[in-house]
Structure 1
Amino acid sequence: MEERAGRGSIKPYLDKLTLGVTRILEASPGVTEVTFVEKEPAERHTIVSWEQKNGCVLPEDLKNFYLMMDGFHMTWSIKMDDNPMPLGSMTINSISKLTRLSTALAYTLPNAPTLADLEDTDEEGEKGNEDEPEKPHLDSRSLIFELDSCGGNGKVCLVYKNTKPVVAPDSEIWFLDRALYWHFLTKTFTAYYRLLITHLGLPQWQYAFTSYGISPQAKQWFSMYKPITVNTAQLSSEADTFVNKLDPNKVFKSKNKTPVLKKKLASQPPASQKGPTGPGSKNPSQSGSSARR
């Protein structure tokens, strides 16, 4: 896997950070050029400035994520006629690109409608399903920030429904499709991050969480490179497998805690506790059996 590293390397916990999908992709037939772009941590004052500017507090797990690395970008390609073709893309915008969703004019004509005017406002769209939270609004009732542009297939957004300055963050992750319909994804950034990784960044994977599903073309890619979310419950219960359960308290750390993690990883048992090694060394059970003979 190609890695484009920054100054503060995250290699010691790269496997946990990507939930082990780098190994899955590299072992998949036809997959090539698995690339992870390593990014510098965001400065704490940058995050504070963002919160002051936008009048809201970042969720704690998203804040810790930015303190560890300022954004996320992982891609992979497949071989088509011996040439690489980009297919999977996993992206989380940096703090500087976590911008409020524009409600500017949808057209450049005089008195043209805004995105808020074009939003679905019928009774069904307003209430949504009984089990689904109240939908966001593109007007002043909600604060909406873009986490991922999804390659033009829609937008994954961090949504605050309470637009008043709040002490405790109250946010959710929603998907806005190209027809300006909202689809609930997760209540926390950590849960969304897991969805992003385990769906391998396949094209239009977000539409799997809509009532109309993914396109026929996307279904072909899904059938070839099935997202590992199908076995998520089983995989997360197996703590010893390389597909690790994401723990934001251990993985999404601020950069001043990173050296502690590296120190733990570097620790090894003393030489006196290590058993003999080499081609001539024997297992203790073998030595005992030899003595009895």
Structure 2
Amino acid sequence: MEAITNWLSENSGLLTHYAIQFVLALIVFLVGMRLAKWCSKLTEKGFAKRKVDKAVGSFCGNIIYALVFIATILMALSQVGVETTSFIAILGAAGLAVGLALQGSLSNFASGVLIIILRPFKSGDYIEAGGKAGSVRKIEIFSTELNTPDNKIIVMPNSSIMSGAIVNYSREKTRRIDLVIGVSYDADLKKTKEVLKSVLDAESRLLKEPAYTVAVNELADSSVNFVVRPWVNTVDYWPTYFDLMENIKIALDDNDIGIPYPQMDVHLHKTSE
């Protein structure tokens, strides 16, 4: 007993030092735990305010919690004198291995988060992306489902969508119909223009503003090409497009204005033997 008392007396300074370090490490750990929970909740609230899918917010909140928690443990161990360099190296190597193994999935996940945050399109929009086109049926973390006009389902990885240009045909309320109408070089251009305008004026679905455009665009090899560019509501685009094509053909036929086939003039020169 006397030996223990003497040892404690001789090492009281060292014990006090370690006790203080232990208390500081415990404080760091407790504060770090509270900080991790606070950061996690703050992340989830931030995603919720931006109306991001709840699953994405929860997942990102858990990732933030794990990162802060690991940092807290390393700081607490460092406080009591434990060398953390080797732990950091092991964690770095493990993280690199996992990242390489899940490279494709992580890329799709990151792209899915960007789609949900940036909202280049929403469910129901008709888009063209990654070489495919269709109506967005479902947006998930790793993939997006498109429904094509012929009722096919396309499941696209989110990374292939975000890696290129995205064309959203549904975001704006109005769209312009672009038609190119070729007529014969023998046709009366003024009369042709009036016929095209009469067809547009008779179509009730066209918008008054912006006004439509009818103009000669090109003197092509076989025809004089007019551009016909009216504006419609997006929901009326395809029905109006199809009806205009039919009505323009009928009106041109009624006014004897020809739509020529591609043709080539061949000139023969007779030479003496």
- The TM-score range, normalised by the shorter chain, is under 0.3
Structure with more helix by fraction: 2
Select the structure with the greater relative contact order (CA < 8 A; seq sep ≥ 6).
1
Give the TM-score taking structure 2 as reference length: 0.21
